[in-house]
A and B are shown apart, each in its own frame.
Chain A
Amino acid sequence: MKPDMSVEIAGIKLRNPVMTASGTFGYGKEFADYMDLEKIGAIITKGLSLRPKAGNPTPRIVETPGGMLNAIGLQNVGIEAFIAEKAPFLRTINTPVIANLYGNTLEEYGELARRLDKVQEVAAVEVNISCPNVKQGGIVFGTDPRAAAEVVAMVREATIKPVIVKLSPNVTDIVVMANACAEAGADALSLINTLTGMAIDLQKRRPVLANVTGGLSGPAIKPVALRMVWQVARAVKLPIIGIGGIMTANDALEFLLAGATAVQIGTANFLDPAAAQTIAMEMERYLADNGIADVKELIGALRY
């Protein structure tokens, strides 16, 4: 018997729990030559802002033990170009597309959600709150529960599409953030975004990244991500999308046990452009091999 791999997040039906993480999968098309985009659960696009954004100076990326740091600086084509140039390709693919968005002010978040509300090929929005609020002198929405709740309420009001909030791990207590977003009307939570880190070139006595600090991703962050997913899943009723260092089907299944309903594949796409498809396929094989009829049986099924 073929196991049932389907899951549902905030009313969106996914053929399997494997999505691609924002910023690691471009706008989908970049990977079409390497994999079947209709064999994964959903595609999450690069973070979109109201206007095109230049991003940071280079170097922007550096490899670290078991991971990488990036300081891309959210370079993106902007919402208008996304709708005009990127969405038409995504329309041709029978896989839900989730638009990741971020603003520099509360109002920008609202405006983005309003514009995306009318874009048919977007099944849901994922709100990246890990960016500084320029109006309030750069306080990060994602580390202040009250600011985060305001963003979520703003987006909630602006769209009828499901609202997924992507949490930053760079906080003292992620459960406080999760609760604040849940109360403000989030339909689902995704976690984690990258952990702030830094690399230094000893010879040059300089930071490696032009931006000095960057976001750590890859296998190195998986234990932190698993712990946070587990904590949030126990505290909050919303469906959770687990992210962080997933390289294999086993990694993904561990996130389900910790309480995630679905997962996102990020850095692994760089090592293997077919990673998301392979992981989905191998999860299914694991279920078949272990006589598990439905992937949903594994969600939160951690034994103590």
Chain B
Amino acid sequence: MQYKAMVISNQEVSSGYYRLRMTAPKELAEAKPGQFVMVRVNNSIDPLLRRPFGIFDVGSFVPEYADVGRQTYLEILYKVVGKGTAMLAALHHGDHLDMLAPLGKGFAPGDAGEEKILVGGGVGLAPLYYLAKELVKNSRVHLFVGGRSREDVLCITEFERLGVETYVATDDGTLGERGLVTEVLEKQLQQGATAKTIFACGPYPMLRAVAAIAGRTRIPCQVSLEAYMACGVGACLGCVMKGRNHTEATPDYRCVCKDGPVFDYQELQWD
């Protein structure tokens, strides 16, 4: 749906990373982990297009500023990388944003009781928090999180507060193990860690490595992808990824916005 959101808070949680909480219509309480939002950063034509972000959290609160009863909120966790995100970082309580949400297909949570592994790289962690909140209700959850440096490893305490067991890897070794998060994951799996599903979100090379691990260990795996988007609703065909059986003669393109952003890794062609 399309709606106007009011910014409740917009905090820098680590250098260059922000957590933006905004009001949402009550329908958003039904949003599924892995779904995303398209934010219109302002009402001008600069920047022109909406910006896509994963849903970091959805919940409800009783606002102090108005007598409206319980109010639904939605949060995104974002990294400032360019013009649009820099403009978002400048927003304050009371500012308004035009939103499209919830969009796309989310994660399939799988069966209750099974162990789950989450793998997040950098800000790719964002949709995994909302997912973890759901999964911890009836599963043991392990989170493998990677980043360039310690500032790029976000919200670990929030995950731990949910009871998620976390493993951290950084490229420069400033937090957790030095190296790639996928190396840590592979090591843990070799040492007997088990899981019935892997959920991953992060940069494409990380996802490709996770998909390879899933292939070797035969653990079912869902990945959440990013792509340049214009419409977010499956109309422009700008955001496509090659499906597993795609060839020039028998095209099989999937829209990240509509068929994804979450895919079974086996649905896709990895290059």
Q: Which residues of A contact B (CB under 8 A)?
A: 23-26, 30-31, 33-34, 46, 52-55, 58-63, 65-68, 70, 72, 75, 218-219, 247, 267, 269-274
8 A-B pairs with least C-beta separation: A54-B251, A26-B235, A61-B238, A30-B235, A270-B230, A270-B231, A30-B233, A75-B237
Query: In the bound complex, do residue A67 and residue B48 qualify as a contact, i.e. CB atoms below 8 Å apart?
Result: yes
* Most-contacted residue by chain A among B246, B248, B253 (CB, 10 A): B253
Q: Which of B40, B48, B240 contacts A267 (CB 8 A)?
A: B48
CB distance from A267 to the nearest CB of B (A): 7
Query: In the bound complex, do residue B48 and residue A218 qualify as a contact, i.e. CB atoms below 8 Å apart?
Result: yes
CB distance from A74 to the nearest CB of B (A): 9
Query: In the bound complex, do residue A70 and residue B236 qualify as a contact, i.e. CB atoms below 8 Å apart?
Result: yes
Query: In the bound complex, do residue B248 and residue A55 qualify as a contact, i.e. CB atoms below 8 Å apart?
Result: no
CB distance from B77 to the nearest CB of A (A): 22
**B113 interfacial contact with A, CB 8 Å:** no
Interface of B: prevailing SS: loop
Q: Which residues of B contact A (CB under 8 A)?
A: 1-2, 40, 45-50, 98, 100, 227-241, 246, 248, 251, 253, 258
Q: Which of B229, B233, B238, B246 contacts A273 (CB 8 A)?
A: B233
Contacts of A52 in B (CB 8 A): 251
Query: In the bound complex, do residue A33 and residue B1 qualify as a contact, i.e. CB atoms below 8 Å apart?
Result: yes
Known contacts A26-B234, A59-B228, A61-B236; A273 and B251 CB within 8 A of each other: no
Known contacts A30-B233, A72-B237, A273-B2; A62 and B45 CB within 8 A of each other: no
Query: In the bound complex, do residue A271 and residue B49 qualify as a contact, i.e. CB atoms below 8 Å apart?
Result: yes
Query: In the bound complex, do residue A63 and residue B236 qualify as a contact, i.e. CB atoms below 8 Å apart?
Result: no
Q: Which of B100, B232, B233, B251 contacts A53 (CB 8 A)?
A: B251
Query: In the bound complex, do residue A30 and residue B234 qualify as a contact, i.e. CB atoms below 8 Å apart?
Result: yes
CA separation between A20 and B1, bound complex, in Å? 20
CA separation between A70 and B235, bound complex, in Å? 13
